[in-house]
Structure 1
Amino acid sequence: MSAKLSIVTPSFNQGRFIEETILSVLNQGYEPLEYIVIDGGSTDETVDIIKRYENKISYWVSEKDRGQVEAINKGLARATGDFFGFINSDDVYLPGTFNAVMDHFAKHPGSQWICGDTIMFGADHPTEVIHSEVPKSAAHCLAWAYTAPQPGHFWKTEIVRSGFDEHWSYDFDHDMYIRLLLAGHTCEYIPLPMAAYRLHPVSKTVAENHRQIEEFDRIAEHYEPQLHGADQRWCRATRYLRLSYAASEAGRKRDGARWLMRALATHPEGLKNRPFWGCLRRLLASGGGL
């Protein structure tokens, strides 16, 4: 018998998009599938859309919650599948994803965490395939030296059963990656587009990017003491670069320059490191005029 896959969709007032999300899950053709939708008390057409498919949805509820992370955790607590993934109510899975994911897990019994490629799309954004570079270590993750959008991730349920940290609103997925890496788990890459990540003006990624940067800084500061030597300096330097970027975006040029100098002083050997220069290029591209 095939292993069961549990998928959770957290939702709140995404009636424009959620039907696409639901159908992208239900039309995968994989069995056994457990699909759980946790809605935060939407006041738009979301609930009516969910009801259209409730005979195919394993469990759904619409009630006030504390936000996206609590919704995911509520779904995860109900999940009975061997493997787990979550998809936000404005994103979609690509056809064939579940069969490819579960085939990989079946052929590689030791696999506990995999990630594929993701397509970025939106009305005002050119369609772009993001080829994932999975996080290889906690330092690699904390230095933001990887590219692996969340919709392409799937886990053995038992390794994420403790849930995502509700203290974080934007980077709770990165926090989970760091915890898993520190615990000795590895992320395996599958070179296959698995999901499409929608960019639109009210998506958290677009609308609140500066807050996401600030939150990731707090996450990095929390975990840095668990690193040592060059890894710690590298992560601290890239954290300073992110602060420089954020200050520059906010028009605080002097603060931006100060954080940039601290980054260079903390990890001068980072000048030879591609991720370091990647952060610097993003900083200069911000138009902050350092």
Structure 2
Amino acid sequence: MEFTIIIPVLNAGAKIRRTLESLLSQTALASGAARLTCLVVDGGSTDDTLDHVRAFDDPRIAILSQKDSGMYEALARGLARAGGDVTGYISAGEAFDRHAFAVICEVLTRYPDIHWLTGQEVTRNEQGQIIGCRLPHPFRRSFFDCGMYGTRLTVLQQESTLWRSGLNRHFDLERLAACTLAGDYFLWRSLARHQELYVIDTHIGSFTVEPDQLSKQTPGAYRRELRALRRRPALWERLHALIYRQYVKRTRPGKTAARMLRYDPAKQQWLLRKP
């Protein structure tokens, strides 16, 4: 199974080494269960970012470097080149769990009707220490469409989310390139229009909480852009989201939650539990 992972980057310096190392150390690559194409889409870095990338001297890593207007224009350029079986993207400095590709290979091979999946919501501090780990409840397509995820409900963790590459045809790359902060939401809404999102109860990737993150520099800007991209929710959808938020805060997904995969030690398989 071939994975295409896109890394949009600008002046990331030594941060990108950790991300590339997490990709190249995947156990599924060593076993032959997976192949990798990594697209480093650079926006014209003026530091040593590309020196770090070239130092790997690995044919699986391709560099696309030119000036751009920001992260989502870079991501759009990467998606235009993405092929293979599975697509995902990750920021420089973040990392995948070393077994992430192995889990995804097994799940997508066993369940051909699953096209889009995510894992546990794992967060780290600047030192790389895990400071939070939460199993999300199954996501609802209607809540993506009307923009509840990212406003009234938690955002979908991008670092833990991948999809079958055939879905890339549904992205409006020009509109994605015009995004400045909420391009992730634009992707999720586009995917949700065509497929259900499944959750795997495992660590796929993680998100690092840092004080200088782009989304924190202008408070409220992410939500404003998201609202411009979403379908305006009906009153009943707003009320439903408020009730659902309280339910999510107080509960953990049950063993038979819809669209949830867990590992069965007795069968030694990742299994989709029927609700």
State TM-score, norm by structure 2: 0.77
Do the aligned partners of 1:69 and 1:172 also contact (CA within 8 Å) in 2? Answer: yes
Which segment is superposed worse, 203-212 or 40-49? 203-212
Which segment is superposed worse, 39-48 or 169-178? 169-178
Quick check: 1:232 aligned with 2:234?
A: yes
More helix by share: 1
The offset of 1:41, in angstroms, is: 0.8
- Residue 186 of structure 2 corresponds to 175
Q: Deviations over 1:55-95 (max 9, x none)?
A: 24331122211211121121222222111111111211111
- Residue 132 of structure 1 corresponds to 136
CA RMSD of aligned residues (A): 2.5
Instruction: Name the CA distance, whole Å, in 2 between partners of 1:133 and 1:208.
Output: 29
Change over 3 Å in CA distance of 1:62–1:159 after alignment to 2: same
**2:177 counterpart SS class:** coil
Higher relative CO (Cα under 8 Å, sequence separation at least 6) belongs to 2
Which blocks of at least 5 consecutive residues in structure 1 are unaligned?
225-230, 238-266, 280-290
- Residue 156 of structure 1 corresponds to 164
The residue identity in structure 1 corresponding to 2:94 is D
The residue identity in structure 2 corresponding to 1:20 is R
Matches within 5 A, 1:217-228: 217-220=227-230, 223-224=231-232
**1:13 counterpart SS class:** coil
**2:202 counterpart SS class:** strand
Quick check: 1:196 aligned with 2:206?
A: yes
Change over 3 Å in CA distance of 1:126–1:85 after alignment to 2: closer
Do the aligned partners of 1:36 and 1:60 also contact (CA within 8 Å) in 2? Answer: yes
The offset of 1:234, in angstroms, is: 4.1
The offset of 1:216, in angstroms, is: 1.6
Percent identity of the aligned residues?
Answer: 20
The offset of 1:35, in angstroms, is: 1.2
The offset of 1:96, in angstroms, is: 0.4
Q: Deviations over 1:162-185 (max 9, x none)?
A: 4352232211121222222233x1
- Residue 143 of structure 1 corresponds to 148
Q: Deviations over 1:128-148 (max 9, x none)?
A: 113223421123562223553
- Residue 6 of structure 1 corresponds to 4
Instruction: Name the CA distance, whole Å, in 2 between partners of 1:190 and 1:107.
Output: 13
Q: Deviations over 1:3-47 (max 9, x none)?
A: 211111110111141110111111113231111111111111201
Which blocks of at least 5 consecutive residues in structure 2 are unaligned?
250-275
The offset of 1:103, in angstroms, is: 1.2
Q: Deviations over 1:210-237 (max 9, x none)?
A: 21122122223xx12xxxxxx62145x4
Higher Cα Rg, which structure: 1
Change over 3 Å in CA distance of 1:48–1:36 after alignment to 2: same
Do the aligned partners of 1:10 and 1:87 also contact (CA within 8 Å) in 2? Answer: yes
State TM-score, norm by structure 1: 0.73
Match of 2:13 among 15, 23, 30: 15
